Chains A and B, each alone.
Chain A
Amino acid sequence: MAGGANPQMAAQPNSGMSGINYQPMAGSGNRFQSFAPTPMPMSGPRAAQSSQAPTPSNIFGQSAASIGQAQRTMTDLSQFQPQQMQSAAGGPVATYSGATVQSTPLPQAAQVGPMQTYGGAQVGPTAQMNSAQLPSAQTMQGVGAVQSAQAPGQIDVDRLGSMDVEQYMSPYRDQVIQAGQADIERQRQIASENLAGQAQKAGAFGGSRQAVQEGVLAGEALRQSAKLSAEQRQAGFKEAMESGRFDIGNTQSARTLASQQGFQASQLGQQAQEAAAAREQAARSGNMQAANQFAAQQANLQQQANQANQAALNAATAQQAGLTQGAGLASMQAANTGALTQAQLTQGANLASAAQQAGVASQQAGLTQGAGLANQAALNAAQQQQAARDQAANMANYQGQFTGAGIRQGAAGGLGALGQQQFNMGQQVQQQQMMQGALQRGLMNQLIGLGQGGFGQMTGAPQGLQTFLGGVYGAPNMTGQSQSFNPGLFNYMQLGAGMMPR
């Protein structure tokens, strides 16, 4: 393990340590030097992915790599499986199937030819009786309704309001009016000449009076002319109206008479048509009764013809069945006879074939049995040899399994010991960390205690007075003491007694 150059022990990026990078701390005398941690590989498969990783740089990295390698080796050994030994297979055993007896042709039964069958005589078709056919019955058609009498239409009535009055006016009306107006003008001119003469005589010709008289004369003449025209025209209109009323009355009477005559003619025509329709209806009724009677006769004839046809068909069918039955019986008897003959022939042939095959089979069985016995002996010998080789291979495999189990057991024990060792190492590292941390924390506590003491000294109660009082009370007693003794009588007696001899 020197140098730790095993590529499988290279550092793996540990997920728990990937974020920790130690950087140099420049100018710090009490800081640790930077170092690149080498996380221990935690499993074998991950180690296989890091063949290019650098060599562990310190003893801890090398130790971790060695433990990792040991762990992977133990893991591999714990999964050790001995290779199974296969027994050698014996070569194929040659066997002999025995000689084969060649088959000989077997006798075949003669084949009876097909039986001829007779289908029976065929009855010809029966003649169908057809009933006499009559034309179809006539059906009665009802007579249509006759045309009813038409009432006369409304008579036109002429009115004076819509009448042309001018046709009744006198064609000489304007000539009479013009002649009258000419007479009035001539009279006015005569009167005007008289007025001019009178004015001339009076020397007032052309004066205003003459002009006024001329105006009055002209107005009177004009009034007379208009009155004449109006009267003439009024008279003419009145005569025209009377003439028109006369014409209208005559026309209305003629129209009334014509209407009455038309209505009467329409009534007479309706009566004639009804009479004709009655006659037609009677004729059609007679025709319908005759047609119905004829149809009933036709139906009876048809029924009789159908019954005759059905009887003929039944008789033909019965005759045909009898013929077919006889033919079938004859054919069946012929077929049975043929089949019996064929069965007898086949049975004879089969018996001959069976005897021949039995002889061949007996001969073949003897040959096959001899070959089979020889083959069975060879196969038994080969199987016994193969069983011996299998037994030896199985024994070797069992021994290998025991050996593999021992290896796995040892590896499992090694893994357990290794795990315990790793656990102890981790515990030791953590205990070391705990101890060093406690040491640093103790130093910090010491600094804090010193700081608190210094703060108390600087801000606490003054202590100088205690020092002062200590000096005062510690001073020697100011009152010095001297003692003197004056002896009394008893002292002298005691002294004398002491001086006496004993």
Chain B
Amino acid sequence: MAKGGTTRTEATMPRFQETAIQRGIGQAGDIATYMDTPMPMYGVQVADFSPMEKAAFQGTDMAASAFGLPTSGGQSYLPEAQVMDGGIRGFSARPMVDQMVSQFEQERPGQAEYRASFGMDPVTGEVGSRALSNQPVALEMQGGGSRGK
């Protein structure tokens, strides 16, 4: 640093920038409420075996049976595959999740209700009591702008 001169630093922010930040933070609170609302699984998550793979399974069983080895007796290990629109075939973990959530709500109703209060009612859209949307804080405004909704 050169000697002999003086350097001055001072905080400055444009007004439009301050307003944009305030809008972003407000929207982040709304998004957090949405994120804390449980979302069930829709559709399939894992693809079903292809017909060629199934044929290979069948051939393996036939080979084992022909040579006197034990066989699987046909596929019964995996759940029923679901066929979505467009011919997409796969398996869904939703039945398992629904069962676990139902068991959780039955065994721990208080905890389940507490957890749900961070989100919103997925049917009515009512915001939970502990959601960020219901925790208003007065923002210190240095410039103009508003939260904007």
Contacts and interface: CB of A to CB of B under 8 A. Distances in A.
Nearest to A482: B12
A34 B73 CA distance: 9
Contact of A488 (B3, B38, B61, B91): B3
Interface residues of B, number: 80
B5 A433 contact: no
A490 B4 contact: yes
Nearest to A487: B5
B88 to A, nearest CB: 13
Interface string B46-58: 1011000110111
A448 B93 contact: yes
B70 to A, nearest CB: 8
A60 B54 contact: no
Given A29-B83, A462-B118, A485-B5, A471 B75 contact: no
A463 B62 contact: no
**Interface SS of chain B: helix, strand, loop or mixed?**
mixed
B80 A30 contact: yes
Interface in B1-36: 2-14, 17-18, 21, 24-25, 27-29, 31-36
A14 B67 CA distance: 10
Given A464-B34, A471-B28, A451 B78 contact: no
A440 interface: yes
A441 to B, nearest CB: 8
A426 B69 contact: yes
Given A20-B71, A32-B61, A464 B96 contact: no
Contacts of B56: 436
B97 A455 contact: yes
B7 A485 contact: yes
B2 A37 contact: no
A42 B41 contact: no
A22 interface: yes
A20 B10 CA distance: 87
A483 B11 CA distance: 10
Contact of A29 (B13, B38, B81, B112): B81
Given A447-B96, A462-B36, A22 B60 contact: no
B48 A30 contact: yes
Nearest to A463: B35
Interface stretch (A169-177, A241-249, A387-395, A472-480): A472-480
Interface in A431-484: 432-433, 436-437, 439-441, 443-444, 446-448, 450-451, 454-455, 457-459, 462-465, 467-468, 470-472, 475-476, 478-484
B101 A32 contact: no
A135 interface: no
A63 B64 CA distance: 12
Contact of B33 (A464, A470, A475, A491): A464
A40 B61 CA distance: 13
Nearest to B91: A447
A465 to B, nearest CB: 6
Contacts of B4: 487-492
Contacts of B3: 488, 490-491
Contacts of A139: none
Contact of A459 (B54, B80, B83, B101): B101
Contacts of B106: none
Determine which residue in A37, A441, A476, A490 has the highest number of CB atoms from chain B within 10 A of its CB, and name it: A37
Contacts of B54: 30, 32
Interface string B107-128: 0000010010011000000000
A430 interface: yes
B5 A484 contact: no
Contacts of A40: 66-68
Nearest to B140: A478
Contacts of A478: 13, 18, 21, 142
Determine which residue in B13, B27, B68, B78 has the highest number of CB atoms from chain A within 10 A of its CB, and name it: B68
6 contacts: A31-B75, A429-B63, A443-B78, A463-B35, A464-B132, A490-B4
Given A40-B66, A454-B97, 5 more contacts: A30-B78, A32-B57, A436-B56, A450-B46, A485-B6
Interface of A: 14, 16-17, 20, 22, 25, 28-35, 37-40, 42, 56, 58, 60-61, 63-64, 422, 425-426, 429-430, 432-433, 436-437, 439-441, 443-444, 446-448, 450-451, 454-455, 457-459, 462-465, 467-468, 470-472, 475-476, 478-492, 494
Which A-B residue pairs are the 5 nearest by beta carbons?
A: A488-B4, A464-B32, A37-B65, A490-B4, A471-B28
Interface of B: 2-14, 17-18, 21, 24-25, 27-29, 31-36, 38-41, 45-46, 48-49, 53-54, 56-75, 77-81, 83, 89, 91-94, 96-97, 100-101, 104, 112, 115, 118-119, 131-132, 142
